[in-house]
Structure 1
């Protein structure tokens, strides 16, 4: 009777050999270390020899394992070529790209879309803003090609039916106008801002988020109009909370009318990682991967 090895096991042994760690391999493949370990133990039982030598500091291929892993690497390369070919065929009949993102990053997403459309004019791009607390559920129900959101890797790893790609680290900041007393600060704390008025994007999770950090501050107004918020900041009427990537290349930031100042806080409520996410069964389309490349150049 022949030995059966599934594609996931092939991925596991190749990745473990590469990083010399079951834990690191599991993290890279977005699965639990226990699942990888159990799968490898079962495979070793089936083939009647050890693929790896488990040392204290690392896990390395055995002499017999090295032969198997070399062949598995070649098989995996062909599998990935096949997957890419299928993905390209799927994309050849698809001429649209659906993107969802959390409010506050629409500017930099739009900037990336303009560059993307310049090279791919025949692809229709649709963008929708979704509340951060609802976006993972939205991915599962509406199946966008890409979802862009801040999150911790720990939170994303608990969702077994999604794939995610790290885009960048972000920092929570405040936006101030030239007349603000904080304009020349290099960084601020929530305590520094106790007497300042805030303008906030109209979304329940955003309002709750602001109250968590600025529980003593007054809200000047809450609006779903980004231009109103920008105007209030630019004219020195109020400050706004944003991530450092939000208006990174904006003309008002570049000419000094608005300044982005890092906010120093230890709140665990804040996520500093920014991700591209999609359904695992759908995977990132060729268009989605191309768009992610454009987005990364703007971050």
Structure 2
């Protein structure tokens, strides 16, 4: 007994004709007749009384076909549930993103919720290396990270989806003399600055490489609080270093009072920014659509 045979007998019972049922089922009439005969032989029950005018169910056939209808409906429910699970797998999407990206991520989510999206999200801001480790440890489902050539091997066993390119820049108050005189920060000027830094591996690697090549610099303090960094830049005359896209997409970034200055070719400051997840982490269709909409917002605002 198989699903096809159950489908056949239900259709024949409904149409009361092998010819009509065969046409609907897209099978030859002889093939349909043989399949029903094999089922009758297996069950040792006569299901239909066949004649030139059609096929009607026997008393025993009525009971069997009722059970067949129940079985087929149960199979339909299984398929429907599987489809539902596919569309709603990971009902809660855990997202980690580098600082400054929470704005577009939340804004996109709000727009989708207004359209009655069922997706739920959890968003955390972290440094790229922390995000990579969290993904490997299944502490987050997907992350938006920055990665450079020197670190690309760290994500070789994960699925990285690049979205845009960017770089590390120096940020200073527009009231600073640097803002009025510099388009690119030179080594000599960089060495004289007072720094407040975000606790990020790439920022720290840049500082370490700079100090190794050109000597020590004055790092005032380090923090993961962007508001504190902005306050130090604006009120204490400090400078900071960070990813340019963090400034572009950070809603609270004071672009009217803080200026970005490119760093002279001291080292490779270019990065690729994008999504990172495990290869076997299957996102729901809802989650995939959400990520696509975040990308569209990032491209529009870039």
Q: TM-score range by the shorter chain?
A: 0.5 to 0.7
Counterpart of 1:56 in structure 2 is none
Cα deviation digits, residues 131-183 of structure 1 (max 9, x gap): 43343232121252311111146854675542121110002111111211111
1:167–1:93 Cα change, 3 Å: closer
Counterpart of 2:194 in structure 1 is 197
Give me the TM-score of the superposition, normalised by structure 1. Answer: 0.60
CA contact (8 A) 2:146 2:272 kept: yes
1:244 aligns with 2:240: no
Aligned residue pairs total 211
Give me the TM-score of the superposition, normalised by structure 2. Answer: 0.59
Alignment of 1:84-233 (within 5 A): 89-92=85-88, 94-102=90-98, 106-120=99-113, 122-142=118-138, 144-152=140-148, 155-156=151-152, 159=155, 161-184=157-180, 185-202=182-199, 206-214=203-211, 215-233=215-233
Counterpart of 1:263 in structure 2 is 263
Separation of aligned partners in 2, 1:88 and 1:156: 36
Q: Secondary structure at the match of 1:142?
A: coil
1:157–1:222 Cα change, 3 Å: closer
Structure 2 unaligned residues grouped into runs of 5+: 1-81
1:160–1:180 Cα change, 3 Å: closer
Q: State the shift of 1:283 in Å.
A: 3.8
Larger radius of gyration: 2
Q: State the shift of 1:97 in Å.
A: 1.5
Separation of aligned partners in 1, 2:259 and 2:275: 27
CA RMSD in angstroms, aligned pairs only: 3.1
Structure 1 unaligned residues grouped into runs of 5+: 1-85
The structure in which a higher percent of residues are helix is 2
